[in-house]
Chain A
Amino acid sequence: MAERDRVLVIGAGVAGLSCARELVSAGRRVAVLDRARGVGGRCATRRVAEQAVDLGPAFLHGSAPAFLEALLAVPAARVPGWPLAVHGAGRPCQPEAFRAGEQRLAFAEGLSAFPRHLATGLDVHLGARVERLEFRGGTRAVLEGGEVREAGTLVLALAPEQAQRLLEGVADAPPAVRTAHALLDTSRSDPSLALAALYQPDREAPPWHVWYPETSDVLQIVSHDSSKRGAPPFLALVYQARPRWSRQHADDPAWPERMLEEAGRLLGEWALRPAHRHPHRWRYARTDWASELAAPLLLQLEGGGRMGLCGDRFSPGGGIEAAWISGRELARRILAEEVA
């Protein structure tokens, strides 16, 4: 197969996997790199005290028929309609959490079942951190440790800030790279500090699946995670902090304690002392509502190479659905322009 047909996807989140899958099904040779130990990026499930806990989005939601079909193809036990019991409407200063006509669901084993399914059969390289990109005399990614990977088409399926960092490091950047850089510069991600807290099961479970507190400056979402599981040993709640608070406290080592204090204020004393906890700092958790772009980007580089950008920023609506759609759309553009 010709060199120019090879595609290198950086980022094994939902967007990168969706892009790679579409390309592979059209017969392209695709390698996917990710610095993490597992696939899925922010669509993340961790085991805390042996119990699965979703640390990124609490549920999947969308309305595009193809996306819903892709969710139904996942060989995992579904929790349809979750969250069925939604408490609170959040602070007034945010859009309604649920859009009309959307379907929602979770997976009993955790939401990472979706990206793991997408990755099935793909050539995914984990623990592979890209150090820099080169665009002169071919398109290359140089990995930590010195390994060099060449490709006709390079796809950046990363948070915009992460893509930005790679593009900033390009020596003597060609015009297309500067274009991508300028475009990414117009938008920004919101961070989110997430804390999984597991409580002894004798604690009475709250009557809601998801709570959007209306009076908290700290917490944006409280997800009753264990209500997605079959017979969980612990009552699991996942607290996610509001963007502003997350930005202000990202470098405060005591942020998990501060979030628990707020949980105690909102839920009662008992919430202060979980049996197990697992904090996670998402620096680039979600697309700012005002930063959405309409479509992925495919740029021609001098010398015949191409660079694509996709991710939840690159499709209206944001979230996992936007990530999946943008990856697939980018793959289709890569294929269409080859034929042309």
Chain B
Amino acid sequence: MNVGGDALRALVERDRDHECDGLGAARVCVRVVAVARLPTRFGNFELVGFWNNRDAKEHVAMVHGDVVGASDVPVRVHSECLTGDVMGSLRCDCRDQLTEGLRTIAAAPRGVLLYLRQEGRGIGLLNKIRAYALQEQGLDTVEANEALGFRDDERDYAVAAHMLRSLSIRSVDLITNNPEKIRQLTQHGVNVAGRIPHVIPPNDFNRFYLETKARRSGHLIDVAEKRLAEQSDPVIVEGMPGR
């Protein structure tokens, strides 16, 4: 018996005829299209695939437990980062943020990780590589990053808000260290009931990463602001300076 999964599968049928006025300036709309079980090393999830009306990016939600119609659901919003999530890049902490998010959610009775696809199509990934190349030349500026298309935050939040709405989640406990995320989602109609700090436990990899960062400027958050902000969350690592 899989009550949560059945409730998610019913959303596919419901959304075939979904119509709305869209969220945000871009009038974003998403629909639940496909659901399947996804056992992971972190625990058992249901993978929910979304269609959206604005581009070909296939956003997904990793759902753990019964969330349809639920309140105070722990939610983590993660933006795709191929270099970090998949390749384990040390230029960012995306992978740690992703795995810790999934771990936190799997340990709770229920929760959702929204995985927003940023680099699936178009020039997102190529321009990120270009931005890294600029960094290597010491030309990493906010202006250059903006010219390269980093990035349409407003649309991301509208997508995330609509995904939560599509999952019929009544209220969320946002897993974040970033008050801006709470503000933006609230603005798009998400009922943010609480916040769960996103704390990354130390391990060999982020220790190296943090030491590298420390060598470069000695101040965690400042460095994060100068770098490409793949995830808009400042990092908090257990036991490390900056906490």
Q: List the interface of chain A (C-beta within 8 A of B).
A: 91-95, 186, 188, 217, 242-244, 247, 288-290
Shortest distance between the CB of A280 and any CB in chain B (Å): 21
Which interface class (under 10, 10 to 19, 20 to 34, 35 or more) fits B?
A: 10 to 19
Contacts of B136 in A (CB 8 A): none
With a CB–CB cut-off of 8 A, which chain B residues contact A242? Answer: 19
Query: With contacts A92-B53, A95-B54, A188-B16 known, is A290 near B22, CB below 8 A?
Result: no
A-B contact count (CB 8 A): 33
Q: Quick one: given A188-B16, A288-B16, are A93 and B22 in contact (CB under 8 Å)? A: yes
B33 adjacent to A93 (CB under 8 Å): no
**Which one of A91, A92, A186, A243 lies within 8 Å of B17 (CB-CB)?**
A243
Contact status A244-B19, CB under 8 Å: yes
Asked if B87 is at the interface (CB within 8 A of a chain A CB), the reply is no
Q: Which residues of A contact B152 (CB under 8 A)?
A: none
Q: Is the interface of A mostly helix, strand, loop or mixed?
A: loop
Cα(A65)–Cα(B133), bound, Å: 36
17 more A-B residue pairs beyond the given contacts A92-B22, A92-B27, with a C-beta to C-beta distance below 8 A: A92-B20, A92-B21, A92-B29, A92-B53, A93-B19, A93-B20, A93-B21, A93-B27, A93-B29, A93-B53, A186-B34, A217-B19, A242-B19, A244-B17, A244-B19, A247-B17, A290-B33
Task: Give A92 to B20 CA distance when docked, in angstroms.
Answer: 7
Q: Which B residues touch A217, using CB under 8 A?
A: 19
| Residue interface bits B1-36, CB-to-A below 8 A is 1, else 0 | 000000000000000111111100001010101100
A-B contact pairs, 6 of them (CB 8 A): A92-B53, A94-B29, A188-B16, A244-B17, A247-B17, A289-B51
Closest A residue to B28 using CB positions: A92
Question: Whole-angstrom distance from the CB of B195 to the nearest CB of chain A?
Answer: 31
Chain A residue contacts of B34, Cβ below 8 A: 186
Which residues in B have some Cβ–Cβ distance to A below 8 Å?
Answer: 16-22, 27, 29, 31, 33-34, 51, 53-54
B21 surroundings in chain A (CB, below 8 A): 91-93
Separation of A186 and B34 alpha carbons in the complex (Å): 9
Which residue on A lies nearest to B49, using beta carbons?
A: A290
CB-based nearest B residue for A188: B16
Shortest CB-to-CB span from A190 to chain B, Å, is 8
Smallest CB gap from A248: residue in B: B17
Alpha-carbon gap, A114 to B27, bound state (A): 37
A165 to chain B: closest CB distance in Å?
19
Q: Shortest CB–CB separation between residue B126 and chain A, in angstroms?
A: 18
| Least Cβ–Cβ distance between B166 and chain A, in angstroms | 12
Given A290-B31, A290-B33, verify A93-B18 contact (CB < 8 Å).
yes
Q: Considering the complex of A and B, which 4 residue pairs feature the smallest CB-CB distances, nearest first?
A: A92-B27, A92-B22, A290-B51, A290-B33
Measured CB to CB, the nearest residue on chain A to B51 is: A290
Q: How far is the CA of A247 from the CA of B19 in the complex (A)?
A: 14
CA distance in complex: A92, B34 (Å): 22
B16 cross-chain contacts in A, Cβ below 8 A: 188, 288
CB-CB under 8 A from A93, the residues of chain B are 18-22, 27, 29, 53
What is the CB-to-nearest-CB distance from B159 to chain A, in angstroms, rounded to a whole number? 14
A244 to chain B, nearest CB (A): 4
B53: chain A residues within 8 A (beta carbon): 92-95
List of B residues within 8 angstroms of A244 by Cβ: 17, 19
Bound together, the chains give a CA A288 to CA B33 distance in angstroms of: 10
Across the interface, which residues of B come within 8 angstroms of A92, CB to CB? 20-22, 27, 29, 53
Shortest Cβ distance from A242 into B: residue: B19
Which residues in A have their C-beta under 8 angstroms from that of B17?
A: 243-244, 247
